[in-house]
Structure 1
Amino acid sequence: MAVENFGDTPEEFDFDSWLDQGGRPERTVTVYSSWKLMDELARLEKSIEVAEQEDDPSMDDVGAEELREQYEGVLAELEASGKKFTLRSLTGEEYRTVTAGVPEVEQTYRDQHGKEQTRWKPDQVAIGDALVAEALVSPKLTRDQVRAMRVKLGDGPTLVLYRTVGELRDAGQVMPSVPSLPERSDDSRG
């Protein structure tokens, strides 16, 4: 990406063009909808290991090569179920706005004297869904769609989205260091 010259002096500086070139940190991750295939892959891994250790496999046993082909087929199915999601970092203002709009849930707990108490607390799961929906660039999903995905696929497969929102939030609050070209290690400089 070529960087334009936005003006050499303060009077020539084109702020709008300079700002249009910028952007927040983004990251693309994959969520797999057929996560149940992971169990099949684990089973096949064990079967391959056993098949490779057998000195004299019987005629009824499936050989290691055939098991490897099955493994590759299941792996291809898992990959085909993947969908790429692009998320961007949220500003502190966006984060506060999103979390302020999340309803509270009643939480029961025991105090220091063992007495059961009740208090209202922000719904952390709903906050996570809302933050993911807000951070998604592509495809754009509503909070309800993010929730439906989490409920259908489970916390494990969708965890990558929630973690990425957190990582991007951290990255968006730190001034990145500008990389520099590594110096030569030889003495060829004259």
Structure 2
Amino acid sequence: MPRLVLPTTALHREFLDCLDDWGPGDHEDGFGISSEMDLVSPEGFAAWVGDRLRRTHPHGTPCPPWPHGSPRWIVEDGQVLGGIVLRHLFDDRVGQIGYGVRPSARRRGLASWALGEMLVEARLALGVDRVLVPCLADNVASARTIEHVGGVLEQVRDEAHGPVRRYWVPVPA
């Protein structure tokens, strides 16, 4: 059974396995990383995880106004399968929730499940009734995931990295 967990140095090797599954370059939005970050060395990884956790209350409740909000990893049987983040500051360009599932774990419903969990957190942490969740226009799987949880397409917008679908997703009461 999958679960959402706070980032932890205890899963360093498993996190690197997840990144290897994606391959080189920048990775999925749920992790909030880029290629220039040192995630391989234990020190670099610990600094990155520590930075993410310092911006979260000890009991796991998000600590606004950090724009990266509530980071969680999707973990099952000791493997890091992906990441998801609820952003606490509204950003019209990147939306309020970003996520990604490693290639070998896709097509199992993990993204829909994790997105559903974060919608509940959005209600509790932000008190909102809907969130903006964008995805690249050519990412059909992500578009289906967002639509599966009730996302309504607002528009397709041209961005610097290509066209982006913008969905408003209702948050459960």
Shorter-chain-normalised TM-score: which range? Answer: under 0.3
Structure ID, larger Rg: 1
TM-score by length of 2: 0.25
Query: Which structure dedicates a bigger proportion of its chain to strand?
Result: 2
TM-score by length of 1: 0.23
